């Protein structure tokens, strides 16, 4: 775990260097983001489903899905309770970033690196409820709720959700991909962790560290990286859940704010500077909190 975290941190520093030196500009950063979401992450998800179907895997997948749904409901409730004293603009940012984390990109990469392919399989399922909440309840914090047709279309056509559905077909029917296709998927998938962490580094490079932290950002970081994973950890332990399922659920719950938080705040004229601080600071702090959670989990 320690070697994996150091590797991820070094790749992140490469992203910082490439961005500051001009090797990666704004256009290249967007291209890397699109590559991760649309190519390497879906390939990793499909790769993770290429396993023999067993009753144990089915039960664990169901447990992961239930934990994720309950976590999202709990996150929405926390958003209503914990941020009452804030002004409307910051309150909306905090509520959105409490239900929406970076589990889809950074979380999947970490789950695969720390827990292996089974970890990525569970992580792929864990993020499905989060994406649903992101495109439904999340948008209501800034605008009117989208109609059901729009919501269903966004969920079902997202590359990562499509990859999960393809993966279930492959695992359910025990389909063996042709050699050339299997090798292509695995080769592309192997680039996911590198590109995801490189992307995080390019984001960190654009923020002034001196103006990064204030008391509201610290409070949010405590909720996102500390309180929420702790509640999931305690609930799973009390329920007697499998240790691997607990590990994936806790680590993904403890992911930093989603990068989309700043984009959505900017689009709907909320506090975009505060939103950016939340994203960057929790991303940096997660480099410390994730290893601590892994130690607590015994991984």
The rounded mean pLDDT for the chain is: 86
Tell me the two tokens of residue 10: 């070094």
List, for residues 243-267, the tens digit of each pLDDT value: 999 999 999 999 998 877 876 777 7
pLDDT for the residue 10: 86
Residue 275 has pLDDT above 80, yes or no: yes
pLDDT for the residue 146: 60
Could you give the CA distance from residue 245 to residue 60 in angstroms, rounded to a whole number? Answer: 7
Tell me the two tokens of residue 118: 């089974």
Tell me the two tokens of residue 137: 């309840």
DSSP 270: S
Confidence label for 145 from pLDDT (cuts 50, 70 and 90): low
Total residue count of the chain as it appears in this document: 299
Domain definitions of the chain by residue range? 2-297
List, for residues 192-203, the tens digit of each pLDDT value: 878 877 887 887
Average pLDDT over residues 231-243: 95
Residue 7 has pLDDT above 80, yes or no: no
List, for residues 85-109, the tens digit of each pLDDT value: 998 889 999 999 999 898 877 788 7
Domain boundaries 2-297, corresponding CATH code = 1.20.1530
What is the reported pTM? 0.77
More confident residue, 101 or 299: 101
List, for residues 37-91, the tens digit of each pLDDT value: 889 988 988 987 887 778 888 899 999 999 999 999 999 999 999 999 998 889 9
pLDDT for the residue 5: 63
């Amino acid at each position: 775990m320690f070697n994996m975290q150091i590797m991820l941190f070094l790749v992140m520093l490469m992203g910082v260097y490439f961005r500051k030196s001009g090797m990666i500009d704004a256009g290249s950063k967007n291209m890397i983001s699109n590559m991760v979401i649309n190519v390497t992450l879906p390939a990793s998800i499909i790769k993770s489903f290429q396993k023999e179907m067993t009753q144990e895997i089915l039960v664990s997948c169901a447990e992961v899905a239930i934990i994720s749904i309950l976590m999202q409901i709990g996150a929405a409730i926390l958003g209503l309770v914990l941020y009452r004293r804030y002004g409307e603009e910051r309150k909306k940012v905090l509520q959105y970033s409490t239900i929406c984390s970076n589990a889809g990109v950074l979380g999947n990469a970490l789950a695969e690196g720390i827990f292996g392919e089974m970890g990525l399989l569970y992580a792929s399922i864990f993020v499905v409820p989060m994406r649903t909440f992101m495109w439904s309840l999340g948008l209501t914090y800034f605008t009117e709720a989208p109609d059901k047709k729009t919501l269903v279309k966004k969920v079902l056509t997202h590359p990562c959700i499509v990859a999960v559905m393809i993966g279930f077909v492959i695992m359910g029917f025990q389909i063996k991909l042709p050699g050339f296709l299997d090798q292509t998927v695995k080769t592309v998938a192997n680039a996911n962790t590198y590109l995801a962490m490189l992307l995080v580094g390019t984001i960190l490079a654009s923020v002034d560290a001196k103006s990064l932290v204030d008391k509201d950002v610290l409070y949010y970081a405590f909720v996102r990286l500390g309180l929420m994973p702790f509640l999931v950890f305690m609930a799973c332990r009390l329920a007697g859940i499998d240790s691997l399922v607990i590990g994936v659920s806790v680590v993904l719950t403890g992911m930093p704010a989603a990068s989309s938080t700043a984009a959505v705040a900017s689009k709907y004229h909320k506090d975009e500077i505060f939103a950016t601080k939340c994203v960057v600071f929790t991303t940096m702090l997660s480099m410390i909190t994730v290893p601590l959670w892994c130690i607590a989990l015994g991984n």
